[in-house]
Every structure is written in structure tokens, then in C-alpha cells.
């Protein structure tokens, strides 16, 4: 079982990154791949998901984020893809707070999370995330450097939202707002889009 990978980011897609570790390229699925920058050497904590027909790696910026992911996918109704979509919104402290306060309405704002799954999250996780709440609340949100500015940031961000499971109507709604902004990276567009989507 892999614990982390230390290498250079070679490729970024809307759903994953490729990390070169001493000449071997690892495809690692990530909540927001555009947090990373091509060419940077970085440590990515990974979770290995093994099925009969596939072996997938999921990557996280901190050990605590990985532990939160593992807690989420243990909830009935939440698979790895849904877990990543939930963690794409960087307000992990707010997520934990919503679980502790039994705020089902807030949890249902995440893609793929209905009323039943949100209630199950509360049932399974309430009272079990105390240490993680403190850790994620202190995370350094400047850990990842911004991408070089280009012409594709907004389109890449919208493609990433689609990959996370947001529907066309939701994406069109935030696009109208984001087109009026001038952010410097795809990461910024994604983070602000997720904030807007959580306010729906």
C-alpha cells in the first residue's frame, strides 16, 4: 500500500495528475488537479483503491485530507469519485462542522449527495472527526503555487467541475459570474466556482 509519492508533476487533466517518480509515471486522481503546477517537485499523499478490474490512486495535499477522504468513502453511498467531489471544496472545516451540526441541507449541496447519503454521513461520522477538524482548520491554503496565467483557465475550471459531477445547469450558472472575474489561475476559478455552488 502506497503512503505517498514524491516526484515531479508532468501532466495535469481535469480529473488527475501524472507524477514522475524516478522515471515512472503514476496517474493520480485528485479533487482539484489544477492546484498543482507542472514541473514542481511535490509530495502527494495517496490512497490505493483496488478492484477486480482496476487499481486506482487518489492523491491529497496533506495526510489529514487523505484521512478525511478515507472516512468519507466508508459512508454507505459515497464512493471515491463522490469523496473527491466533496473534498474539492477546500472548506474542509466547514464540511466537518456541518456533519457535527447535522446540517443535512448543507451536505446535500455536494454533487452526488442526496438526503439519504447526507443523513448517513451525519450518522456515521458525527463525533468521529474531532482531531481532523483541528488539523484541517490550520491547513496552509497557499501550499500549492498558482499556475501560469493562460487563455484556458476558465474552460479548464468548468471542465473540472463537470468531472466532479456538477450538471450543465449548475456550470452555466457559475460561468456567467466567473466570466466577469479575472483570476490568475485555473485553481482560483475552481475554488471560487465551488464557493458559488455551495451557496445555491
Percent of the chain with pLDDT over 70: 90
CATH of domain 63-137: 1.10.150.20
Contacts with 124 (C-beta within 8 Å, 6 or more apart), sequence order? 74, 75, 76
Residue with more model confidence, 185 or 135: 185
Tens of pLDDT, residue by residue over 83-100, are: 999 999 878 888 998 999
Section 167-176 average pLDDT? 86
Domain ranges of the chain: 4-60, 63-137, 153-197
Closest to 95 in 3D by CA, of 57, 44, 129 = 129
User: Is-contact 146 40, C-beta < 8 A?
Assistant: no
pLDDT of residue 136: 59
Neighbours of 194 (CB within 10 A): 25
- What's residue 116's pLDDT? 96
E strand or H helix that includes residue 116: helix 115-125
Higher pLDDT, 147 or 172: 172
Residue 109 has what DSSP assignment?
T
Calculate mean pLDDT across residues 139-159: 55
CATH among 3.20.20.140, 2.60.40.10, 3.40.50.300, 2.40.50.140 for 4-60: 2.40.50.140
DSSP-assigned letter for residue 34: G
Q: Which residue has the higher pLDDT, 46 or 181?
A: 46
pLDDT higher than 90, residue 60: yes
pLDDT digits (tens, 9 = 90+) for 127-137: 888 767 656 54
42 pLDDT more than 80: yes
Query: In which residue are the cell numbers 514522475 written?
Result: 20
The pTM of the whole model exceeds 0.85: no
Dist CA 111 CA 40 (whole Å): 30
- Given a cut of 50, whether residue 190 has pLDDT beyond it is yes
66 and 92 Cβ atoms separated by less than 8 Å: no
CA distance 93 to 139: 10
CB atoms within 10 A of CB 161: 25
Amino acid at each position: 500500500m502506497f503512503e505517498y509519492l514524491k516526484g515531479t508533476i508532468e501532466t495535469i487533466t481535469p480529473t488527475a495528475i501524472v507524477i514522475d517518480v524516478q522515471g515512472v509515471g503514476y496517474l493520480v486522481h485528485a479533487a482539484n488537479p489544477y492546484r498543482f503546477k507542472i514541473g514542481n517537485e511535490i509530495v502527494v499523499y495517496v490512497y490505493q483503491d483496488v478492484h477486480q478490474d482496476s487499481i486506482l490512486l487518489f492523491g491529497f495535499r496533506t495526510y489529514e485530507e487523505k484521512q478525511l477522504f478515507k472516512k468519507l468513502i466508508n459512508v454507505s453511498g459515497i464512493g471515491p469519485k463522490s469523496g473527491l467531489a466533496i473534498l474539492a471544496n477546500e472548506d474542509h472545516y466547514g464540511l466537518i462542522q456541518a456533519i457535527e451540526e447535522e446540517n443535512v441541507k448543507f451536505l446535500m449541496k455536494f454533487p452526488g449527495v442526496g438526503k439519504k447519503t447526507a443523513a448517513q454521513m451525519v450518522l456515521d461520522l458525527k463525533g468521529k472527526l474531532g482531531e481532523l477538524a483541528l488539523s484541517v482548520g490550520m491547513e496552509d491554503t497557499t501550499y500549492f503555487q498558482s499556475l501560469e496565467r493562460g487563455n484556458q483557465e476558465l474552460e479548464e475550471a468548468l471542465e473540472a467541475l463537470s468531472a466532479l459531477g456538477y450538471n450543465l445547469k449548475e456550470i452555466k450558472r457559475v460561468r456567467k459570474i466567473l466570466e466577469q472575474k479575472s483570476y490568475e489561475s485555473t485553481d482560483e476559478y475552481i475554488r471560487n466556482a465551488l464557493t458559488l455552488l455551495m451557496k445555491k
